[in-house]
Structure 1
C-alpha cells in the first residue's frame, strides 16, 4: 500500500498514527541502519536493538519530532546511538584505536585532536571529552567525529546554528584549557 509513497508522504501518514506507514519506513531503512551501527559497535544484536529503539522513539514522539529529511534523521540517530552505546560500554581498546585513526583523518583544523597525537594521547582526549558538559560533548563529537556540519547538527538537535557554534567554541576552549592545565580536572 505504501511501497510507492515518498518518505515525506510516509511521515505525514505516521503523524496521523498510521502504523503501516511506519512499517514501510522500517523496511526501507532497518537493514542499512543495522549495518551502520554494526560498523561502529561490532555487535549485530546490539545494533539491531539500537535501531529498533530508534524506530520506537520516532513512533512515540511522532507528534513532536520535526523531520525535514527522514533518511538523514535516521542515520544521524543511529550514529549517535552507537556512539552512546560505546561510551556506556567502554569499548575495547582495538575499537578506540580504529576510532583514533578516523578522528585523525577528519581533523582538518588546529584542534585538540591535532595537538595530541598517538594512541595514549587519544585515550587522554577521550577522557577529557567525557568531562565536558553533555551538550558540549555531543556537539563536539558530532562535529569532529561524525564530521557533521553546523547546519546538520542544528537541524538534528533542534537548536540554532549560532548555539551550535557557541557550544563548539566552548567545548574546544575547555579542552584546550584542560590539555594545557591537567590539574584543572581535580579542581
Structure 2
C-alpha cells in the first residue's frame, strides 16, 4: 500500500515506518517536531543556533539508530532527548547558564534607551535574580523560564513537558511564590 499523505499518520505509525527504513517518515517527524524542539532546547541553551544544531543531531541519531531504538511514545522521547542534549551542551561549555534574556548593549546604546548606569544596574539585578532562579526545583525553573522569559504560552508548555495545563499553572504559581520569598528574604538581609 502506497502512503500518499504522511501528515495524517500518528506518531506510532510513523515510528513503525521509520523502523522499516522509510525516510519520508523521518521527514514527517522532523517537520512535525523540529520547530518546537528547537524552541524547547533554547530554553536551556539560550542560543537558537546551538539548539538548531542539537536538534538536527537528534534527528540524525534517530535515523542512524532507528533499528535499535525502542521508543514507546515519540513526543516525550524527543523532548527528553532534546533536554538531555541541551544540558550536556551546557556542561561541555562550562559556562554559567544564562537564564534571562540579556540586553543587547550595542542596540540599547544605539537606540538611546539605556544609559551605561542603567545597563549596569540591569545586569546586576538580572544576575541576582538568576542566582535565585537557580535555587528553584528543576520543574519550577523550567516552567518559569518558558513562561516568563521565552514567552511560551501555558497551553504550549504543557505538551512540551508532558504535563497538563493545570499542572503548568500550579507549578508557575509555586515558582513565582518561591522566587518572591527568596527575593524578600534577600532584601531583608541587605537592609
Tell me which of the two structures has the higher relative contact order, counting C-alpha pairs closer than 8 angstroms and 6 or more residues apart. Answer: 2
Q: Taking structure 1 as reference, are residues 53 and 144 closer, same or farther at Cα in structure 2, changes over 3 Å only?
A: same
SS of 2:101 mapped into structure 1: helix
Structure 2: give runs of 5+ residues left out of the alignment.
Answer: 105-120
Report what 2:101 is aligned to.
99
Q: Does residue 169 of structure 1 match 2:173?
A: yes
Q: More deviation in 2-11 or 175-184?
A: 2-11
Q: Does residue 136 of structure 1 match 2:145?
A: no
Report what 2:154 is aligned to.
150
1:25 to 28, 38, 42: 28
Report what 1:41 is aligned to.
47
Q: Taking structure 1 as reference, are residues 3 and 40 closer, same or farther at Cα in structure 2, changes over 3 Å only?
A: farther
- How many residue pairs match? The answer is 160
Structure 1: give runs of 5+ residues left out of the alignment.
Answer: 68-72, 103-116
- Cα separation, 2, equivalents of 1:144 and 1:91: 22
Q: Normalised by the size of structure 2, how large is the TM-score?
A: 0.58
- Cα separation, 1, equivalents of 2:154 and 2:30: 30
Report what 1:13 is aligned to.
13
1:65 to 74, 87, 91: 74
> Displacement of 1:15 after TM fit?
3.0
Q: Normalised by the size of structure 1, how large is the TM-score?
A: 0.59
**RMSD, aligned α-carbons:** 4.6
